[in-house]
Structures are given as C-alpha cells and as structure tokens.
Structure 1
Amino acid sequence: MLDLTLTEIAEALQGELVITDAAEAAGYSPATVVNGTVDTDSRLIGEGDVFVAKRGEFDDGHRFVGSAVEAGAALVVVEHPVELAVPQIVVADSVLALGYFATDVVARVRASGDLKIVGITGSNGKTTTKNLLRAILERVGETVAPRDSFNNEVGAPLTMLKLTPSTRFLVAEMGASGKGEITRLIRMAKPDVGVVLTVGLAHAGEFGGIETTLATKTEMVQDLEPGDVAVLNRDDARVAGMAEKTAAQVLWFGLSDSAAVRATDIDATASGTSFVLHLPDGSAHAVRFAVLGEHHVMNALAAAAAAHVLGVPAVDIVSGLEVVTRAERWRMEVMGGRDGVRVINDAYNASPDSMAAALKTIALIATPEQRTTAVLGEMSELGPYSVEEHDRIGRMVVRFNIHRLIVVGEGARAIHLAAEHEGSWGGEAIFVETADEAYALIEADTRPDDLILVKSSNSAGLRFLGDRIAEAHSLGGETA
C-alpha cells in the first residue's frame, strides 16, 4: 500500500477517524503513517497491516478485530466503534468504503506515475488469462494482479490497494453476479485495456439469462475512451458485437483469420499445447505452452494481445506464456504419476463451456491404449438451463467415447441419465451420491496409465476428491 497518514486514509474511506486514549498512549496520532497490506481476513494480518471488518452472509468480521490487533494490525476499519489500542476508522459500510479507498489509491498512483490498467472479464478464463498476463508483464515492470479469483466488490479493491508508487501495471480481474457490478469496478480503476473473453452460460441462473449476462459483460467496454483499447474475442459472436458498443479502438484475438492476434498450427498433447502466435505487426512466433487444454490457447491469445497493446516485446510475450505451467490451482492441474496414472483436477469452477472443453481435452490427449475416466459433478448457477446443460454434457461424454463416467451428486444426475440413454456407447456410467463413494470406485479399479478427469463447480467440492485421488497415485505417495 502507499504511505498514507491516518487522516488521509479516513478521508479516502469517507469515514471517521477514532483514536482512543489507549491508542493515543501507544503513540498514534492523525499524522501516523500506515503502509501495510489491507485485508478482510484476520488470519492474513501481520505487523503494520490494515484490517477491514466486513459483515458476511455467515459471519461478521467485527468478531475478529481483537485477533487482527493481536497479529499486529496498525489500523482497523469498522462499522461501529470498538475499544482498541490502535486507531480505527468508522464507516457506514465496510465494502463500500473499500471501494472508495481503492479508487483514491488508484488515482494517486496514476497521478504520480505511469500506471497502466488492464481489466479482464468473461464467462470463462478470467483467472487463467490474468495469470498469463501477469507472467508476461512482470518481465518488463512491477505488476500487481489478484491472488486466486479475487474479482468481486471485495477482492478487486483489495488487489488495487496493493499498488505502490513504482507499480507499472495493474491487472484487474473483474467478475460479476449482476448488472452494474463491472461498471462499479471499472469506476474504481478505469482500464486502459479492456479484455472480454467469452459470454456463455456460466452463472446464467444468477444473471437471469444470457442476454443479461451479455449486457453485464459489455460494461467492460462501454466506459472506455477513444485512446483506450478493447481486446475482444473475434470467435465469440456475442463478444464481437461489443465492438459497436465502445468508443475505444478494437484489437481482435482468436483463431479466425480476421483476428490480428491469432494462433495457427495448434497441437494439443498430454504435456501441453504448441502453437504459432501471430501478432499485429505480421510477426509469427512458435510457443510451447505448458498449460493443458487447447481451450487455454484462447486465454493465451487474449493475454498476448493485451501485452502487445502495452508495448511488451514479442520475446517477452512468448517467454511469459511459456513459463506458466498450470492455469491455477484446481484448474486443469495435472497430478499423480505413479504407474503412469494421470489426474487432471479441474474442479474449481465449471460451466457448460469449460466442462465441454475439459472433456474434449482428455479425448484429444489420450493415447489409443489409454483408458479415460470422467468424474463429474454439478455445474452450479445455471438456473432454468441446468437440466438441459447437464443432459448435453452427458451426451458429450458418449460422443467423445470416454471409457468410464462417474457422476457425483444429485445436482449432476442428468449427466448420468443422458449418458445412459445415448445409444451405441461401449463405456460405463455410474451415479453415486458422495465423493467418498466416487473415491472408492476409482481406487477399486484404477489401472496403470489411466487418465482421470475430475470436473465440477466449486460448490460440489470435487476439487478435494481430485486431490485425494492424485495423492493416492502420486510418485512416492500412499493410498489414503
């Protein structure tokens, strides 16, 4: 965080600075400078940090103020006064105050330096693209990007508050569960480059339909100015239509010949994907991309396009892409290895598009002699599309000739039913209620060189099942 006085922080938060007698006795005053990390998780607070007490759906951060102070917090942000030996800033709403604070810090860094901001949104691929772009930009300057999937009204501001006077690039992952949320994030940190990856059925139930999803994702480009650049997916018709909704310049990426940043000669294997990257200057560059799954090439193209706009040399774009070995924890993460057994744990998020891409990946990379198993759980937040889309995935398992399907949980039962009703399939479909049952089935019949995909939405909890299977088949591991 920037070096700011308590008075400056209180003004930014639009709150009231309270320094109790105990805090004053400890040496605090309105002129005290604070520059620690800002967080809403008291477990992550250290010496000199700022703890923001946020009310949540299931808990209240005010219960952990004491723990944060014991851990070394130099300042707490609260919605009601508490008796503390450190300063506190009292605000009406902690989440709104975080946004005010982030807006102020971004404005200060912009005014004093050469900060460039990239905003990334889309129904799928945001976190992977963010990680790839960070790997590229870090090669040429100080870069701030979110940890994990910090892309909402809390996570995005916390990332922005990590800016320093020497930060050159901010990569802001911007997610939403409803209209107006991306606009709110953009107004904290307006991008110089706005990236839109896809518009699909992920979270369509929450949004209320695909048209609302489209309108929400379009918010990324609507506030861009003529000197900004919208990096858009030429192969997604809904994203391509956003070119008419922005005043910014448009840079297309995709597999289409009309995309200025595109990939050719794509070759997906079990060790990654190789392709030739074409840039707008007419140059072509061979890329050996270690992230598993042909679908991640599109994320690589989006990251390459954004980096090109920011003036990053092609050699750094390629080396940045090649240094990343996995999309993210629990995203197409290759694990295991003992007796040739490979587990692809992709159970952090799931939408119809990402589920289809994962199934296509194991079908593509499996050798003719290799047995494939798909362990699939529910795709959440699909609303009225849920049964139809789970049914479609079950039929896709058959079309890709996956050898064994294990469906976990009542929410995913339609996958199992669809696979069973699809004709002329020599594979096997099994339905179980729990992850423990799925684990027992896997361990009772795992053969050398098996390729096992574990895929579901985060809420289904199958990422831990993926870890458990992988641990049982890790090199030197023990069966649980």
Structure 2
Amino acid sequence: MSALWTAAEAAAATGGTARGDWAATGLSIDSRSIAPGDLFIALKDVRDGHDFVADALAKGAAAALVSRVPEGVAEDAPLLVVADVLEGLEALGRAGRARTKAKVAGVTGSVGKTSTKEMLRAILSRQGRVHAAEKSFNNHWGVPLTLARMPVEADFAVIEIGMSNPGEIAPLARMARPDVAMITTVAPAHMAAFGSLEGIAREKASIFEGLEPGGVAVINGDIDTTPILRAAAEAAGARIISFGQSGEFALGKVVLSEGQTVAEARLGAQPALFKLTTPGTHFAMNALGALAVAQALGADTGLATADLTKWTPFEGRGAREEITTDPARAGGFITLYDDSYNANPASMAASLEMLATTTPRDGIGRVRKGRRIAVIGDMLELGPEEEALHAALAGLEAMEQVHTVHTVGPLSQALHDALPEDQRGYHAADGAAMAKEISRLVDAGDVVLVKASLGTGLGRVVDAIRKMGQAVPQ
C-alpha cells in the first residue's frame, strides 16, 4: 500500500517536527481499532489520546501525532510533534484537500446527511475513485480527519458536515472547499441551540461560504426556509440547482412497497425512473438531491440513477433486518428497522411512513396477527416546544397504520399520553428499562421500528431484539 503521508510531508503540512523517517498508510484516532501503518492522532476528548500512544505504537502504528512525548514512550519513537494536536489534524486536512484533484461534494442538512453521503458513494463508484468517511465523521475533528485520509488519486470526495451549535459549519466548509455543496433539508433539530428554524437554516446555509469559485449549491426547494438558503447561495456566487416536488430536479410519483421504493423524476430536461431497495419517500428525496450533486460534479446521471440500487441504509439509520426467532418454522422472524441513531420531528415522520408501508405476517407468533410496532424514544435538543413536538407525533397520518407504540424517556411520555388508549403501549424511563421488557412486547410476524436520538439509548433495545434470534441483514 502506498504512503498516504510521509514524515516529511506531514511535518511540512503541520509545521511540526517529525521524529524518525516514517510513512503512514492511514490515520486513526482510536488505538483500539488502529491498523498497522496508521498515523495515530492523540486527540484530547473524554480521554487524553497521549495516554494511548504507547499502545498504538505497539500495535504497529507508523507514528503518532502528539503535542508532547507521552510518558512511557521512547525519545526516539516515531512521532510528529505539534503545538496542538487538533490544530495539527486540521492542517493535515487542509493539506489533504489542497493536494488532491478530486471533485469535492459537501453535504449538510437537518436530516439525511449520512444517507445522502452513502448514496453519493454508491452512485459515483463506477465513475471514479470515491473517498468518503466510513462513519458519520462530520464534526470539528471528523471533517479534517476525512480530508487528511483522502488519497491523492481520488476522483471524487464526499464530505459530510454537521453542527450542534452556531458557527460550526462555515469553518468546516472553508476547510473542505467543496465544488458542490448540498443542503438536504432544514428541520427542527438542535432547536435548543438556535431558537428558531430560521436560525438553523442560516447555519446550514453557511456551507456555501466554503464553496470553490464557480461552485454549485444544491438546495431543497420545498421547505419554508428555501429563500434563506437561496439568498446565501446567491451571496456566495454559486450556481443554484433546486430539488424537490418542483424545480430542476423534480420528484414525481413515488410508490412504496415492501422493501423498496420506486420513483419517477425529472433530472433537468430528462425523465428518469429509479429504484431504492428500502421503502421511504424521504429516501427518494435524498436520492434526487444526490443525483443533482452527481450531475454538478460532472458524473453521468444515467449510470448514477441505475446505481442507486447499490445503496442500503447504515445500521442505526433505517437498516432493515430479519430476526429469526424460530429457525424450524417458516416465516418465524421479526422484521426490525433500526433507526436508533438520530431523530427529530421530520425524520420521525419519515420513518413512521416507512413503517406504515410494511406488511406484518399473521399466524406465526404467539399472537395471531402480526403487528406494526413503533418503539419511540426521546428526540433531544428541540427547545421549549419539545413536549408539544413529541405529542404531535400521535396525530401523524402514518401513525394510524401503527398498531402499538411503546415509548421511552421523559419527553416521550407526552407522546404516550397523547396516543389513543388502544394504541398506547409500554412506557419505559430509559433504553435499559425498555430493553429488559422488549422480548414480551414483540413477536414473530411483527414489523418493529426503533427510533430515537442517540442519547436516549435505544441501541440497547435493538441489541435486545437481535438477541431474541439470529439477525439476517436485508
């Protein structure tokens, strides 16, 4: 494997001092999963990464990026010493961006960032070498890490950019310098930090501050805050492509069925038909935006449209599994949609719509009829209206197709109370408490959606359902 960074290149990029003549083939911030040849980045977070440098080197790390020689590490150990490790990583990220000829797409939005990033990876993969983070590395260390990992020979790069507080997106966008910047949508998320939807829109729109000269802004044309996004794009001198129910990239008829989405669309002047291997109108909308980005990057939209079938949701973001509870009995399984990583009112509505399209299986479990079951946990950081926003989920049209709703967390108590009595399920204080009860609440034949903000801890519920049998990813 060719070197990603030599000692001399990394020292020049960061202004640091290289000890030893080493060459790194990758970068890692986690000593537990480090691969031989990685440059270990000793970031300070919950723990100080300097405490794990010796372990990383013992596991075969090529070197470590540090601000001091850690205790227990030899003076002649392969190191890159900088004044500040995070600033050193940022410098590596800027240098990684500067030396590549790849066309770069930046993706942000309240919902759908990771799904859209992965769609772009799938639809560009036949048309060049694509670089994108394997996980949701979209914050102050994730973006520079992704950029610093970028191979020089990449043809395309997709950089996910997130935020939780004001002023976070613009510096990351200026570091990424996208040729195309996309905003999937603007929805109530992190309302506690921004106070209004308009404040969130302005923060999302600051991604355009990082656009390269002559860059393209891809914006959702269907939302109330579209004028804010458009004004920011115009101020940045961007060419604008809108997508949505109308606009240059327009979504037509969408048909949701068991395990798939088929959508008609117009891609500029060209009609198109595309298929996704998971149900969801929101996924179809993300796919439409991804196709607009692909075209703006110079990709063939015909190939890109066909390759949308290669995309599947990530674990925790709507991935579908079948949990076999009785291998000796045909159809003896629970269908699980794991959407436990993130939640806000918009994504919750989309996931419930997805659940509503599914078909439970009758006569194969303890209960005679299969059920659509939602296990819903707290949506966090929604601000003063948080309880009302939870209660409002009870009135969603898709909720009418859900047989039982189990709720988790203090905020979801408002949803529990707002539900009709015959739909109201078990309420648990937290994910751990729900995990203890879930085996009696679901059964073979059921389709189960698990969705909440990550901090609610519903990953434990997903794990408990998996332990009821053997999971088979779909």
Q: Please say whether Structure 1 and Structure 2 have the same fold, judged by a TM-score greater than 0.5.
A: yes
Cα deviation digits, residues 291-328 of structure 1 (max 9, x gap)? 3322111110111111111222233212221111x221
Structure-2 change in CA distance of 1:69 and 1:456 (3 Å): same
Corresponding residue of 1:23 = none
Matches within 5 A, 1:383-462: 383-396=383-396, 400-419=400-419, 426-435=422-431, 437-439=433-435, 441-462=437-458
8 Å contact from structure 2 (residues 323, 471) kept in 1: yes
Distance 1:329 1:67 in 2: 29
Tell me the matched-pair count.
Answer: 452
Task: Extract unaligned runs of 5+ from structure 2.
Answer: 325-331, 362-368
Q: CA deviation at 1:121?
A: 0.3
Q: Post-superposition shift, 1:51?
A: 0.8
Contact 2:430 2:457 in 1 (8 A): no
Structure 1 residue 61, shift from structure 2 partner: 0.7
| TM alignment of 1:305-320, pairs within 5 A | 305-320=292-307
| Correspondence 1:276-315 to 2 at 5 A | 276-280=264-268, 282-315=269-302
Q: 1:48 aligns with which of 16, 37, 45?
A: 37
Partners of 1:79 and 1:398 lie apart in 2 by 53
Q: Report the identity percentage.
A: 32
Distance of 1:451 and 1:116 partners within structure 2? 41
Query: 1:345: Cα distance to partner?
Result: 1.3
**Correspondence for 1:348 among 341, 346, 350:** 341
Amino acid at match of 2:82: V
Answering whether residue 238 of structure 2 is matched by residue 245 of structure 1, we say no
Structure 2 residue 103 is the aligned partner of structure 1 residue 116: yes
SS of alignment partner, residue 312 of structure 1? coil
Structure 1's unaligned 5+ residue stretches are: 20-27
Q: How does 1:158-169 map to 2 (within 5 A)?
A: 158-169=145-156
Letter in 2 for 1:265: K
Note if contact 1:100-1:188 (Cα within 8 Å) is conserved in structure 2: no
Shift of 1:151: 0.5
Q: CA deviation at 1:370?
A: 4.8
Given candidates 350, 353, 356, the residue that maps to 1:360 is: 353
Give the Cα–Cα distance (whole angstroms) in 1 for the partners of residues 188 and 446 of structure 2.
31
Higher mean alpha-carbon deviation, 141-150 vs 466-475, is at 466-475
> How far has the Cα of 1:401 moved from its partner?
4.5
Equivalent residue runs for 1:55-454 within 5 Å: 55-56=44-45, 58-82=46-70, 83-84=73-74, 85-109=76-100, 114-224=101-211, 227-246=214-233, 247-256=237-246, 259-280=247-268, 282-324=269-311, 326-336=312-322, 338=324, 339=332, 341-366=334-359, 370-396=370-396, 400-419=400-419, 426-435=422-431, 437-439=433-435, 441-454=437-450
Aligned mates of 1:476, 1:168 — CA distance in 2: 34
Equivalent residue number for residue 12 of structure 2: 11
SS in 2 for 1:217: helix
Structure 1 stretch 366-375 or stretch 120-129: which is displaced more?
A: 366-375
- Aligned residues of 1:359 and 1:397 also touching (Cα < 8 A): no
One-letter identity of the residue aligned with 2:180: V
User: By how many angstroms is 1:430 displaced?
Assistant: 2.6
What is the Cα-based RMSD across aligned positions, in Å?
2.4
Q: Which amino acid aligns with 2:53?
A: V
Deviation at 1:448, TM superposition (A): 4.3
Q: Aligned partners of 1:223 and 1:475: how far apart in 2? A: 42
Q: String of CA shifts for 1:180-217, please: whole Å, max 9, x gaps.
A: 32111122221100001111111222344433322210
Contact kept? 2:256, 2:357, Cα under 8 Å: yes
In the TM superposition, residue 413 of structure 1 has moved relative to its aligned partner by 1.6
Deviations 1:133-188 (A, max 9, x none): 00111111011001111111111111112222211111000011223321111222
